[in-house]
Chains A and B, each alone.
Chain A
Amino acid sequence: MEGAVPVLVVDDNQGFLRAARAVLEEAFAVHTVENGTDALAFLGRRPPFADAPRPAFIVLDFRLPDMDAPAVLERLGADTELSTIPVLVMSQADWEEDAAAARAAGARQFRVKPSRVQALREVIVTFWEEHAHAGARPADRR
């Protein structure tokens, strides 16, 4: 979507990516990757993501095949520029330890993944409004 706010969704579950894309495409330019290594390459604009945009925020699955969310967040935190991107960590379970680990590593929010489209939309849009809504605005929702 031309001119729309870019968002990065990192999740190894293609079903979730499919739903997230459907929910977010109304308002954002959605980019998806399926593991932590690709997410870091995307954000660092390394091939094959050499001309990737800087996302306004990131939706990050807690459990990725190659690393977990705190590991990704720590790498982001080491980069002064990337560390300012708000990250919403989503997980299948609300384990307190996971939530604490994600927050400690720099996540703005930790949420259980909703299983309904409406709830998913609400969680992400609310996050956008609370944490990433500085200056940039998502394209008008249909």
Chain B
Amino acid sequence: MPDTAARATSPLPPETPANLASRARSATLIAAAGLATFFVFVWATSEIFLFDLGEVAWIFTSLILLNLLLAATAPRWAGWRAAIYVYEWVQVIILSVILHRLGGLMMGTLLITYAFPVIHGEMLRSDSWVFVTANLCAACYAVMAWVESTALSEVRVDIHQQVAFVTIAFLTLNFVALYANRYGSQLRNLARHLQAKVAERTVELSAVNAELAAKARALEEKQEELKSFVYTVTHDLKSPLSAILLIADLLLQREAAGLAAESREDLERIVRLAGGTEDMIRDLLELFRITSQPEAPAWVELGVLVEGALETLRPQIAAKGARVEVGALPRVWGQPRKLEHVVSNLLGNAVKYVAADHGEITVSGGVENGSARLSVRDNGIGIPPAYHRGIFELFGRVPGQEQKVDDQAVGGTGVGLAVVKRIVEAHEGSVAVESRPGAGSCFTVRLPASGEG
């Protein structure tokens, strides 16, 4: 049969005992309900059709009780194939007895009642045995016709018509069996196919998960390695440098009076150069620390970050006498500490590059085209276009002689904006600058307005 063939060709899992039991239980409960309904119908129409209830009532009752008992004990017998057919066939024969007692073939609609055991058999067990049930039903029908032959002849159903009825019964019931079997096997194939797919996907998924976990572990190890590398470099680079600085500084202080002007300048140059390198190492370390620190994303109010940064910068802002204006700012989904670093860096730069007593810094923002914007505008010294790209690179900065605020060269290591760029890009955002020398600068950060940035 098609069903067995399908089972042989595709590696489908067999049905579980629990599955079989649940099917057996629902089938026997449906049978009990069907029999009860039929019994009620017979009882209600007994006056019209002159049914003799006394003879069938106890058979009905015991058959219903049997089905209920079988439903209750389904897990015990559902896996036993023969039991199902014995049950099905016994039921067909008893049903025939009931039908015969009620008037047999005199009831024109009798044939339809035999469709139920066939469908029922299919529900319980889907295989070719359903045809045996169908033919048993047809045989019962034939036996009934034979037993009632004389009575039928009396109502002008002659022997040819009786044979025709029986033939129709065989054909109809076999077709019912065929339909039920095909339909049932299709349903079950689909179910098994789905089960197999789910199992297959589950295997694939766990493989992918294992791979991901391995990658995460490898990444963690790399991170650890990088960390220890940076740690070592920091200590080994910074230690001698800081010693040079300390000793040069000591010399300057101790010998201040005795040093020739030229020697003093040389010493000061040493302190300045070594100090710059030390700042670079410090900022590089900061860059590594800020960008490598894992941090859970959360909703971040940019307004709150700006407020905090301005609070920290208050002494510098007061010293410069700068005016700061802050507009309404959006909130974004991101890593709070890293974004805090971005905000304080941009504001710190703005304060650093405005002239004393004329500084104006404007912080504005909004949501445009699905991205949140933060702009920090200043009226400071500005940045020549040639450096617009370079300032976002590590150690990239405008040369000192082109960077004078109030005739003072402004120091820096060229790490700050590189960190800003890295953080913003890790948030799937972008940072851009608009600026002309003498006309101030405007740094604009765009971040996804929402999502798992």
Determine if chain A interacts with chain B: yes
* CB proximity of A65 to chain B, nearest CB, Å: 11
| B139-195 at interface with A (beta carbon < 8 Å) | none
Q: Once bound together, how far apart are the Cα atoms of A95 and B235, in whole Å?
A: 11
Could you tell me if A92 and B239 are in contact, using CB atoms closer than 8 angstroms?
yes
Cβ-based interface call for A18 (8 A): yes
| A40-79 at interface with B (beta carbon < 8 Å) | 63
* Known contacts A15-B247, A93-B231; is-contact A22 B254 (Cβ 8 Å): yes
Partner of A116 from B234, B240, B246, B289 at Cβ < 8 Å:
B246
Interface of B is mostly: helix
Across-interface contacts of B285 in A (CB, < 8 A): 93
Cβ-based interface call for B381 (8 A): no
Across-interface contacts of B246 in A (CB, < 8 A): 15-16, 18-19, 115-117, 120
Could you tell me if B275 and A115 are in contact, using CB atoms closer than 8 angstroms?
yes
Could you tell me if B249 and A117 are in contact, using CB atoms closer than 8 angstroms?
yes
For A20, the closest partner residue in chain B by CB is: B246
* Known contacts A92-B235, A92-B238, A113-B242; is-contact A19 B250 (Cβ 8 Å): yes
Across-interface contacts of A37 in B (CB, < 8 A): none
| A65-124 at interface with B (beta carbon < 8 Å) | 92-93, 95, 113, 115-118, 120
Question: What 1/0 flags go to A7-30 for Cβ under 8 Å of B?
Answer: 000000111101100100000000
Could you tell me if B240 and A13 are in contact, using CB atoms closer than 8 angstroms?
yes
Could you tell me if B235 and A22 are in contact, using CB atoms closer than 8 angstroms?
no
For B254, the closest partner residue in chain A by CB is: A22
Question: What 1/0 flags go to B271-314 for Cβ under 8 Å of A?
Answer: 00011001000000100010000000000000000000000000
Across-interface contacts of A116 in B (CB, < 8 A): 245-246, 249
Could you tell me if A16 and B243 are in contact, using CB atoms closer than 8 angstroms?
yes
* CB proximity of B62 to chain A, nearest CB, Å: 81
Cβ-based interface call for B206 (8 A): no
For B244, the closest partner residue in chain A by CB is: A15
Could you tell me if A19 and B235 are in contact, using CB atoms closer than 8 angstroms?
no
Across-interface contacts of B243 in A (CB, < 8 A): 13-16, 18-19
Partner of B278 from A15, A16, A115 at Cβ < 8 Å:
A115
* CB proximity of A67 to chain B, nearest CB, Å: 14
Question: What 1/0 flags go to B393-416 for Cβ under 8 Å of A?
Answer: 000000000000000000000000
Across-interface contacts of B369 in A (CB, < 8 A): none
Task: Give the A-binding residues of B (Cβ under 8 A).
Answer: 231, 234-235, 238-247, 249-250, 253-254, 274-275, 278, 285, 289
Task: Give the B-binding residues of A (Cβ under 8 A).
Answer: 13-16, 18-19, 22, 63, 92-93, 95, 113, 115-118, 120
Known A-B contacts: A115-B246, A117-B250. Give 6 more (CB < 8 A): A15-B243, A15-B246, A15-B247, A93-B238, A93-B285, A116-B246
12 contacts between A and B (CB under 8 A): A13-B240, A13-B242, A13-B243, A15-B246, A18-B250, A19-B250, A92-B235, A93-B235, A93-B238, A116-B246, A117-B250, A120-B246
